[in-house]
Amino acid sequence: MLSMTPQAVDLSRSQHPFRSAVLRGLGVVLPPLLTIVIFLWVWRTVQYYGLEPVQRGAREVIVGWVGDIRRDLPGEHAVGEIVGYEGQEYVRLSDRSYVPLEVRDYVQDQQGAPLPQTGGGMYRRYVELKYLAPWVVVPVFLCLFLLLLYLLGKFMAAGIGRVMVNLLEGLIRRLPLIRNVYSSVKQVTDFMFNESDIEYTRVVAIEYPRKGIWSIGLVTGESLADIRTAAHEPVLAVLVPASPMPVTGFTVTVPKREAVDLNITIDQMPLRGYSMATTRVYSISLSLNMKSVTCFTDE
């Protein structure tokens, strides 16, 4: 199979300086840009499906509580005419309803023209401006959301909560199309949020996938007792990340005597992107049902 020498690679790059510069620029711009886009998308999703429905529900509750919309004032009055009734001034709107003058004036001062022309619309806008300002709604919503997540997490940690989740997941996995999407999303969320007690102890080199080919891996601990018994010697569980995405790879079981300790840290591993391989990679390797390989090389 043909392969390019380092000199040929350097010559190829020198012949395309514009493309190389553009790619380097993309490498600098894309990570922060995509991070911002993802966070904005998450916030817009939470706002559309969470914050806005809660805000609308709270608005309707407050309108029903403080609303003073009259429709039975005596006499005929023109739109915008101020009418005194029971010691309070009301203003007539286009839908023949009357709202307190102070409500109309407050909305007019805060919003300006055009004003809502119905009693319900006027009070909804009044409640939004006076009681549901963004600087009040967003902190309250975040506090309630965090409280809900805390209670949900405590419930799931209990026995009955775990049983209910398992039953729900079992039901979802029976649905032909939904189960594929759910499984992928769950793998990502498990990778991001699940805590793992397994930590890498050291960086080693092992002969994998065959003798004479060396791969760098991360020792996650001793392997299964059954494998250790069958091998008649100590064995290690080694996670071999894949390139260029170190969140994938193989969990390999090798004899302890065949693992060569390397005097480097995880961030110093000579493969671009290995610094992403933190303690959570091992947990996702389990959730992704990665192939576990028992590798014993011949002497």
| Cα–Cα distance for residue pair 140/146, rounded to 1 Å | 10
Contacts of 204 (CB under 8 A, 6+ apart): 216, 217, 218, 219, 236, 238, 259, 260, 261, 262
Question: Mapping DSSP to helix (H, G, I), strand (E, B) and coil, where does residue 241 land?
Answer: strand
**Angle at alpha carbon of residue 196, lines to 230 and 161, rounded to 5°:** 105
Q: What is the pLDDT along the chain (299 residues), one digit of tens a residue?
A: 445 555 554 555 555 788 888 888 888 888 889 889 988 998 899 889 888 898 999 999 999 999 899 888 888 888 888 898 888 899 999 888 999 999 999 998 888 768 888 999 999 999 999 898 888 888 888 898 899 888 888 887 777 777 887 888 888 888 888 888 887 777 777 766 765 554 566 889 998 888 888 888 888 877 777 787 788 888 888 888 876 655 567 788 889 898 898 888 776 665 544 444 433 443 334 333 333 444 444 44
Q: How far apart are CA 180 and CA 167, in angstroms?
A: 17
Helix (H, G, I), strand (E, B) or coil at 258: helix
CA 247 – CA 193 distance, rounded (Å): 15
The whole-number pLDDT of residue 233 equals 87
